[in-house]
Each structure stands twice: as structure tokens, then as C-alpha cells.
A and B are shown apart, each in its own frame.
Chain A
Amino acid sequence: MQQVPEVIQTIPLNYYVFLSAALFIIGIVGVLLRRNALIIFMSVELMLNAVNLLFIAFSSYRSDPAGQIFVFFIMAVAAAEVAVGLAIIVMIYRNTRSVDVNILNKLKW
């Protein structure tokens, strides 16, 4: 038997579930609350990171490397997403001189 890290011995897995749930909710509230497209984008990053934390916590507690590989792929996809998304935001700014999402409210219908 190998040595189990101290945090895994003392902290129940439930706490990580609650922590990442709270982080995810903060991201959702950010998307709902703000009108700056960049801040909405950052809130989406927060939500992605909440999921990453949960993946890593479960993977460490269960000694299953698949969860950490998934996080690796999530990070790769997030990097690609940020590159394209920021290009779109720069494009929107160039056309409307603003990053306020309410200017784009015609996209709603």
C-alpha cells in the first residue's frame, strides 16, 4: 500500500462536490448578471474550471487516471475556444464599437 495524501484522508469527497458546485453557480450568476461580453466569457471559464476541479477530485480519490486525461482534453478545447471566441469579440467590437451583449439582441429572434 502506498501513502495516501493527507488531504484525501481528512477531507471528504463531498466537500469538493460542494466547492465546485459553488464555483459553477458563481459562473452562472456572472453570465446572468453582466453585459460585458468579455466578463461573460470569463464566467464561462469559471464554469469549465469548476468541472475540472470535480474531475480531478474524483480521479484522485478513485485512483483512476481517465479523469485527469479528460481534464487535459477540456483544457485543450478551452484554449481553442478562447482563441476563436476572443476573435469573435474583437470582430463584434470592430463593427459595433462596443462589447455590450445587449447591442446584439437581434440574435434573440
Chain B
Amino acid sequence: MAGNLFYFLAAITLLCALGVVVVKNPVYSVLFLILTFFSLSGHYVLLNAQFLAIVNLIVYAGAIMVLFLFVIMFLNLNKETEPAKGSLLKMAAAVAGGMLLVVIVGTLKSANVGSYDASTFNSQVGMVGNLGLVLFRDFLLPFELASILFLVAMVGAVLLGKREIGDRNF
């Protein structure tokens, strides 16, 4: 049952990711990306990482995708205005990606990544309480540094987005 669910979610993930890359209209690309994020959240729930599944939905499918959609609507890009690359270049890109996939899969096929250990397995690892304990005990400094990063990003985004004097309107 859960195995079938994994294959189903994996198929949805890969198809929607392909849709992001292949579809011409940027709005449809964003919608496919949202579907990809939802299916990834499904994967996280299956892996018993409930906290990250919810955070993924809030941060990616919520905040980041709204930003993308906002910019696309703002710049009025919801039509196929993109000049296509030449077919030779497209083929080269597809071949290069395919080769890389072959190399990675070939390398990792025989790798021994191990499996779960039933005697020491802890199913509570992905819950909020457990992760919060680890986050605020062992990773407190990175957590505080992330807030500085957000401050810098906020200042940078406002500075970049501001129209300067003498800029033309659009």
C-alpha cells in the first residue's frame, strides 16, 4: 500500500517537474512547480517528517510560489514571448542531461547506501518536539545567523526593487 503510494507520488513528482521545464507558458510552469512541491510534501509525510512537510507547504508552495506568480503577473509574462533556442542547442542540452543521469545512476547503482536499523529506529525523529530540541540545542548559532541572513535579504530586495531617480517608469 505505502509502496504503491511511493511510486504514484514519484511519478507525479517527475511528470510535474518535466512539465515545469517543457511547458511554454510561464504561468503553467509555476502551477506545475506548485504540484511538484505538493507531491514532495507527500513524500515527506510518507517518510514520517511531518514538520518539514508542513514547512515545505508553507514556505515553498505558499510564500515562494506566490512571489513567482506575482512577478510573472507583474511583468505581464503570461504569454509565449520567449524566443526558442535552436533545436541543435536543445538536443545538446537533453543529451548532456541524459549523460549526467546515466553517470550518476551508474555510479550509485552499486553503492551500498545501507538501510534502516530496526533495533535503533526512532519514529519520532521528524516531529516538531524532537526537531525543536535539536534545533535550539545543537544548532542555535546557525538559527540566529539565519535571522541575520533574512534581514540582509530583506534590505537587499528593497534596495534592488526601488526605482531610482531618473529611472524610466514601466
Contact = CB atoms under 8 A, between A and B. Distances in A.
A binds B: yes
Contacts of A36: 26, 77, 82
Interface string A36-75: 1011011101100100110011111111111011011101
Contacts of A33: 21, 85, 90, 93-94
A49 B116 contact: no
A88 B36 contact: no
Contact of A56 (B26, B49, B92, B163): B49
B134 A5 contact: no
B155 to A, nearest CB: 10
Query: Which among B40, B85, B170 has the highest number of chain A CB atoms within 10 Å?
Result: B40
Contacts of B104: 21, 24-25
User: Which of under 10, 10 to 19, 20 to 34, or 35 or more describes the interface residues of A?
Assistant: 35 or more
Contacts of B59: 75, 78-79
B interface majority secondary structure: helix
Interface in A14-41: 14-15, 17-19, 21-30, 32-36, 38-39, 41
User: Which of under 10, 10 to 19, 20 to 34, or 35 or more describes the interface residues of B?
Assistant: 35 or more
A interface majority secondary structure: helix
Contacts of A39: 20-21, 26, 29
A57 to B, nearest CB: 6
Contact of A28 (B43, B97, B121, B124): B97
Given A2-B123, A11-B3, A33-B93, A26 B170 contact: no
Contact of B126 (A21, A38, A60, A66): A60
Contacts of B157: 83-84, 86-87
B20 A43 contact: yes
Interface string B88-125: 00101110111011001100110101111111111111
Interface of A: 1-15, 17-19, 21-30, 32-36, 38-39, 41-43, 45-46, 49, 52-53, 56-66, 68-69, 71-73, 75-84, 86-91, 93-94, 97, 99-100, 102
